[in-house]
Structure 1
Amino acid sequence: MTQMLTTKSLDALPPATTKRYEVRDQKTNGLHVRVSTTGAKVFYTMVRPNGSRKRIKIGPYPVVSLADARRKAMEIARDVELGEFDKTPDIPVETAPTLGEAIPQFIELYAKPRNKDWKRTQSVLHKFDGLKNRPIDQIKRQDVSKVLDDIIANGTPTRANRALSAIKKLMNWYVMRGDIETSPVALLRPPTPEIPRDRVLNDDEIRAIWRHSEKEGYPFGPFLKLLMMTGQRRTEVAAMRWSELNLDEGIWELPANRVKNGRLHIVPLPPQAVDILRSLHRFLDSDFVFTTTGRSAISGFGRLKERIDAAMPDGTPDWRFHDFRRTASTGMAKIGVAPHVIDAVTNHKSGVVSGVGATYNRYTYFNEKREALEQWANELMKITQKPSTTNAEETS
């Protein structure tokens, strides 16, 4: 924000709420004051010696008065115009961080508090490690485009889209903080067109995966069954805790900090799911339902998929674990479950109840969700108990 700074207006500036903010002076070009969450106010000025933008710290207010700050900002601007700026080494110059410095700061202060999948963001940002020694305000669009081209050349075009999305978020965050004026990647568009997946497993594929799950045993076998039966996300099922479960009531309560959309999610468990969970042994002093160490949830899903692929019918199109959610949603729709109930089961923001109705509707359709999941579990049992129409079992 920009305004005519006065001593009175400086004194009235409130502390920042969550992150520092800036107020630019209308009278003196480049002069601005930064206000921190503690209420501290520091004068800076922005200049461009040799075409490179630099932020120069003048000093804290009120130790440095507004008049002194304006005079110092004008002196620095004069030195820049006369080419004498580099001859004044006593001026503390604040430059933009390098990308190598920016990534961990962005992850710690922005991604971690807001994104449960921050590790994936961190991983994809390291695709730009070739630029890590470059100040972020000196990174150009063509630098980022070259990195994206290399990702595409490695045969992972959709990862290039994810990498661009991550670097855009990082740059926009630094623009918002005032560390850089503009994002160098603002005009870049995703390099690869993406088609939304609509893959739904057919009955033979469901049977093959279910029967493979019985051969897998604990922990991946029961994990696969619950993944298909509940329609919840892979990460949510894999990291299920015993403390989230009330098996007597048949309820799985997912806390907001474990859910993608950050909302408490209640999953009514069908009797078949309760039976599976009751059959499992518990690791001593561990809250994880599916674990091999007791200290962390299961992982290694790539290897699990490879084992399942070997058990699938010949010619099976590529599939992903996320397709289980779409399969469950489609299956519930086929047996007559209403769309808004399916949204409630899968914890999606409903396209049926929207606007003010969505904001004030506190009814979570608990009974309808229970009925829907019980119907889907019964349908799943019918599918898995039918004879296979392919030679999947013989090839598994």
Structure 2
Amino acid sequence: MPTPRKRGVTANTIRAMWPDYRAARAERRSIKEIERVFNRHILPHFGDRLADAITRAEITRFIDEIAQTAPVMARNVLAHLSSFYGWALPRLDRLPGNPCRDAGRPPAPKSRDRVLSEAEVGILWNVLDKEPAPFGPAIKLLLLTGQRRNEVFDADRVEIDIEAGLWTIPRHRAKNGVANLVPLSRDALTVIGRLEQKGDSEKLFPARGNDINGPSGFSKTMTRIRNAMAEQAERPIPHWTLHDLRRTLATGLQRLGIRLEVTEAVLNHVSGSRAGIVGVYQRHDYFDEKRQALDAWARDVRRVAKKHRPKAALT
């Protein structure tokens, strides 16, 4: 028996229309990505708004805010919201057109090569010591594991095996659709062990007031962290993003003498040395090597953090 539908204007909110839109896209390979974008970005911001009342200016401001810290994700969110409106247009009599069509679109990001220096890594770690959950611990895990932002911030507690020192990122949450076994260093386990569980939330880093989703408010937090780093360094710090931490880890592993194929396994890259015919016939998962690499990286982070402790902490 079909579920009774809401009547009146509330039936035209994005949240009320979302189940039908999701059903219409259910057979697509990208359905998990669609769900993630809606649950993480669109529904928390616009879910309770009437779909035919949201203006292109509001959408532009929404996308601009995301673009401040995640320009690639901002373009992705806009594309998914535009796809929703393309589906919704014939279903809403008062909707004159797709408001995403003329909304501001962030420029395609330039290829980045920003890598935090040893000093910046040490300063960042010390700044994060004073940054409360969820952002302080979550960004520490980003730095220690090299995993993607959404893989860390949307992690479920069930993915973490403390005794085994293992984090299993399931394939439906991995960007490339390939499950990843991430060995957890002693430092990463310490970060996780200090987290307080929030009620019955399944999330490692639940959002305030919404335990089923990961946190939001990245823009203000990143501004605060960057300013704190500059204050401690007593000099300007070149702009960096959370994704740059992934590149920083990869560069750090190279400096520590870790083989390229091990680094790619840590990052869950199916490219380069693991692509093509090599990827078909080379099934070794480098798990032991990944653990050794991440343990070595954690020790190096600890070393530079100690070296660059704030002056006040040394007296």
TM-score (norm 1): 0.54
Q: 1:346 to 1:163 in 2, by over 3 A?
A: closer
2:37 equivalent among 117, 126, 134: 117
Alpha-carbon distance between aligned partners in 1 of 2:303 and 2:280, rounded to the nearest angstrom: 38
Q: 1:193 to 1:241 in 2, by over 3 A?
A: closer
Gaps (5+ residues) in structure 1? Answer: 1-99, 127-131, 133-146, 174-189
Work out whether 1:208 is the aligned partner of 2:123.
Answer: yes
Task: State the partner residue of 1:197.
Answer: 112
Taking every aligned residue pair, what percent have the same amino acid on both sides? 33
Compute the displacement of 1:316 (Å): 1.4
Aligned pair count?
264
Work out whether 1:242 is the aligned partner of 2:160.
Answer: no
CA contact (8 A) 2:183 2:294 kept: yes
Compute the displacement of 1:379 (Å): 0.8
Q: 1:235 to 1:392 in 2, by over 3 A?
A: farther
CA contact (8 A) 1:270 1:373 kept: yes
CA contact (8 A) 1:229 1:328 kept: yes
Compute the displacement of 1:280 (Å): 2.5
Work out whether 1:262 is the aligned partner of 2:180.
Answer: no
Output the amino acid matched with 1:270: S
1:354 equivalent among 275, 287, 298: 275
Compute the displacement of 1:301 (Å): 1.3
1:369 equivalent among 252, 265, 290: 290
Compute the displacement of 1:107 (Å): 5.8
Q: 1:164 to 1:240 in 2, by over 3 A?
A: closer
Alpha-carbon distance between aligned partners in 2 of 1:280 and 1:164, rounded to the nearest angstrom: 33
CA contact (8 A) 2:130 2:136 kept: yes
Compute the displacement of 1:198 (Å): 0.8
Output the amino acid matched with 1:320: T
Output the amino acid matched with 1:113: I
Q: Which has the larger radius of gyration?
A: 1
Higher relative contact order (CA 8 A, sep 6+): 2
- Which structure has the highest helix share of the two? 2
How big is each residue's C-alpha offset from its partner over 1:343-362, in whole Å with a ceiling of 9 and x where there is no partner? 11011113113223313433
Secondary structure at the counterpart of residue 257 of structure 1: coil
Superposed CA RMSD in Å reads 4.3
Task: State the partner residue of 1:345.
Answer: 266
After TM superposition, the structure 1 = structure 2 runs for residues 25-64 of structure 1, keeping only pairs within 5 Å, are none
CA contact (8 A) 1:208 1:392 kept: no
CA contact (8 A) 1:290 1:298 kept: yes
After TM superposition, the structure 1 = structure 2 runs for residues 326-337 of structure 1, keeping only pairs within 5 Å, are 326-337=247-258
TM-score (norm 2): 0.67
Alpha-carbon distance between aligned partners in 2 of 1:122 and 1:218, rounded to the nearest angstrom: 23
Output the amino acid matched with 2:287: F
How big is each residue's C-alpha offset from its partner over 1:98-121, in whole Å with a ceiling of 9 and x where there is no partner? xx9xx9776653386142435689
- Which structure has the highest strand share of the two? 1
Alpha-carbon distance between aligned partners in 1 of 2:124 and 2:131, rounded to the nearest angstrom: 10
1:271 equivalent among 161, 183, 186: 186
Alpha-carbon distance between aligned partners in 1 of 2:197 and 2:77, rounded to the nearest angstrom: 39
